Amino acid sequence: SYVLTQPPSVSVAPGKTARITCGGNNSGSKRVHWYQQKPGRAPVLVTSYDSDRPSGIPERFSGSNSGNTATLTISRVEAGDEADYYCQVWDSTSDHPSYVFGTGTKVTVL
């Protein structure tokens, strides 16, 4: 089955830039989506199709995807950005389609 690997944690100071990676075999050939999840809440889509941003999501959130790594970049980090972040792809390489989530990254704002 397809695997997406993320760093367990990322720490960043307010106002700085956080970069969260998502590694998967040839992930550049897939469309990667990113979700933010705060404690006790459902996930919220923050970027889709590698770099699109849903309505209502600040421009500080941006995504990219190339080769074997997708990246979510949070610019000018704020305290409210502290959350868990998950990447996700749709995988059709096995005998049935499936949705694969990354292992998740906890972002801590110092």
Interacting stretch for another protein, rule CB under 8 A, among 14-22, 41-49, 70-78? 41-49
Contacts with another protein in 72-91 (CB under 8 A)? 84, 86, 88, 90
Strands (E), 26-104: 33-37, 44-47, 61-66, 69-74, 83-91, 98-101
DSSP 8-state code for residue 78: -
Q: Please, which residue, 21 or 103, has the CB nearer to another protein? A: 103
Q: How far apart are alpha carbons 94 and 63 in whole angstroms?
A: 26
Binding site for another protein (CB under 8 A): 1, 31, 33, 35, 37, 42-45, 48-49, 54, 84, 86, 88, 90, 92, 96-104
